Amino acid sequence: MKKLLFSMVLVLFCINTFSQTQEEMEAWQKNMTPGKYHEWLSTMNGEWHAKIKMWMDPTQPATESEASTTNEMILNGLYQRSSHSGEMMGMPFMGESITGYDIAKKEFIATWIDNFGSSIMLMKGQLDEATNTLVLEGDMFDPASEQTIKVKEVFKILTEDSHKFEMFMIMDGQEIKNMEILYSKKK
C-alpha cells in the first residue's frame, strides 16, 4: 500500500512539474522545427573536395594540402555534421564540426574538434543573407602560449557547387588570416 501511495504521489508530482501551457508547448515545437537557416546549411550537404592554404606565419608563403569533407544534416535536420579527412603539415588530419541555428537565441552556433588537439572550439554568429555569407566568432585555446585566442570564421557560398571558408586570428585587434579552404562538390 505504501508503494502504491508513493507511486501515485510521484505521478502527480511529475504531471504538475512537467505540465505546460499551450503557449509553452508551441514554443518548444517551434524550437525543434528546422527553418530557413537549417535549409541554408543543408545546401552544403554532400561530398566535397577541399583545397587548403594555411599560414603559420603571415609573412611566409602558405602551406597547401587537400582534404575530403562530407556534410550531412542530422537530428531531424537541426544540425549539420561536417567530417573532414586529409593531410596537414605532413600528418593525417581528421576533424568534425557540428553547426546549427539556435531558433530560440536567433544565432548560428558551431563546434570544432580535430585530432591535432583536445580543445573544443565554440563559435557563434549570423548569416548575411544578401551576400550568402555566415560569419562566426569565438575562441580557441593555444596550448603553446597557454592563451585563449579570438578567432573569426567566414563561410561564403560561391555557387551551388563551391564555397569558401576563411579563418582569422584576432591579434591586438587585427584580423590575421591563417587559413583558406576552397570547396568544390564531388561529382
Is 115 part of any domain?
yes
Is 140 part of any domain?
yes
Is 159 part of any domain?
yes
Please, what is the average pLDDT of the chain? 87
9, with CB counted inside 10 A (0-12, 13-18, 19+), is exposed
pLDDT of 5 strictly over 80: no
pLDDT of 183 strictly over 80: yes
Percentage above 90 pLDDT, the chain = 59
Confidence label for 19 from pLDDT (cuts 50, 70 and 90): low
Number of domains in the chain: 1
Q: Which domain holds residue 60?
A: 32-185
Question: Tens digits of per-residue pLDDT, 122-181?
Answer: 999 999 999 999 999 999 888 888 888 899 999 999 999 999 999 999 888 888 899 999
Is 101 part of any domain?
yes
Is 70 part of any domain?
yes
3-state secondary structure of 90: coil
pTM over 0.85: no
Q: What is the CATH number of the domain that holds 161?
A: 2.40.128.20
Is 26 part of any domain?
no
Confidence label for 90 from pLDDT (cuts 50, 70 and 90): confident
Is 5 part of any domain?
no
Please, which residues have CB within 8 angstroms of residue 150's CB and are 6 or more apart in sequence? 137, 138, 139, 169, 170
* Cell (9 digits) for 4: 502504491
Helices (H), the chain: 2-18, 22-31, 36-42
Is 8 part of any domain?
no
CA distances from 143 to 50, 94, 140 (A): 26, 19, 10
